[in-house]
Chains A and B, each alone.
Chain A
Amino acid sequence: MNSFEDKLRNALRREAAPEGFAEKVLARTRGLSQPGAKAWGQFGAFLAMPVLRWAAAAVAVCLLVVAGLVYHQRQERLRREGEMARAQVMQALRIASVKLNVARKKVQEINRETPPSRL
């Protein structure tokens, strides 16, 4: 071993833990109250199940489709309402035009019947 770094590597290599280390740790965990972590962990594992992942994807797709349909229906309703309003305006304009023509004819008739000297 030549380089200083190799000497360092050799000096700092991993050592075995003291005899009975794992047993001591496990004895101390037995003294601990039941970790709430386990319940959450099991819940996490439940959510991580492949079937549930597919189900979640399917639900997401369904939600997207429903949202798309709702959006499309709303746009369609708005378009129909716009067309109706346009038709009503056109109808009103036609009625107004007819009425105006009638009024114009009446004015012309009155003008024709009245001699210019009386004006």
Chain B
Amino acid sequence: MTTVTLQQGGEVLGRFIRGDSTAFADIVQEHQSMVFSIAYHFLHDRGRAEEVAQDVFLRLYRHLDSIKSRNHLVFWLRKVTCRRSIDEVRKLLMTPPTSLEDVAVLAAEPTDLDPLLSRGLRRMVASLSEDARAVIILRYQEELDLADIAEILDIPVNTVKSRLQRSLEILREKFHRRAGDVQR
């Protein structure tokens, strides 16, 4: 399967509409990392994140006729992934966790400057409320501006702004507290 470049996105959509069955494979290939990462940063569990991401792409398969352009496709995927992840978090809150998420996280740790620091930060993000988590993930994983986040989450820009500020305060506080504990 070939990797699809960003410019080819619109053309791939056209191919799917014309009935080309390989086009959907190209769409999945192109966007799987984005969808999986949003779900993973929400859930902090690779198994569940994969389940959510697969579900998102199955929904896309059923609704691809309503997608107008490549930008619309990306917007739709981010929106549905956030909603599906929020639902999953709420479902998890009602059932006690039984997964071996820590083992999975360690096994799949990406290479970065300070793996422990990143892992800690991801855990902190995962401890935020699901609404705050959505804002932080869209802002720092997807690098979206406040207006785009507001559109995806269907909330006013000012709400995004306040959630972002509040979440950053909480994360900073937890981060510095943790750093202090490590030094002691």
Contact = CB atoms under 8 A, between A and B. Distances in A.
How many chain A residues sit at the interface, stated as a range, is 20 to 34
Contacts of A7: 117-118, 121, 175
Interface string B15-56: 011110000110011001111110011000010001001100
Interface stretch (B78-86, B89-97, B108-116): B108-116
Contacts of A51: none
Q: Which applies to chain B's interface (DSSP): helix, strand, loop or mixed?
A: helix
A7 B121 CA distance: 8
A110 interface: no
A40 B14 CA distance: 13
A115 interface: no
Q: Which applies to chain A's interface (DSSP): helix, strand, loop or mixed?
A: helix
Contacts, number: 117
A14 B33 contact: yes
Interface stretch (A15-23, A65-73, A76-84, A92-100): A15-23
A119 interface: no
B172 interface: yes
B178 to A, nearest CB: 12
B41 A12 contact: yes
A62 B57 CA distance: 45
Interface in A15-73: 15-18, 21-22, 24-26, 28-29, 32, 35, 37-38, 40-42, 44-45
B152 interface: no
A42 B117 CA distance: 50
B58 interface: yes
Given A21-B50, A37-B63, A11 B117 contact: yes
B17 A32 contact: no
Contact of B54 (A9, A11, A24, A32): A24
A11 B118 contact: yes
B109 to A, nearest CB: 10
Contacts of B137: 12
A42 B37 contact: no
A5 interface: yes
B34 A29 contact: no
Contact of A12 (B28, B63, B125): B125
B168 interface: yes
Interface of A: 1, 4-5, 7-18, 21-22, 24-26, 28-29, 32, 35, 37-38, 40-42, 44-45
24 contacts: A7-B118, A7-B175, A8-B125, A11-B118, A12-B41, A12-B122, A13-B110, A14-B37, A15-B37, A15-B110, A17-B33, A17-B36, A21-B32, A22-B28, A24-B54, A25-B28, A25-B32, A32-B61, A32-B62, A37-B64, A41-B17, A41-B65, A42-B19, A44-B17
Given A11-B125, A15-B36, A38-B19, 7 more contacts: A5-B140, A11-B112, A14-B37, A25-B54, A29-B61, A32-B61, A44-B65
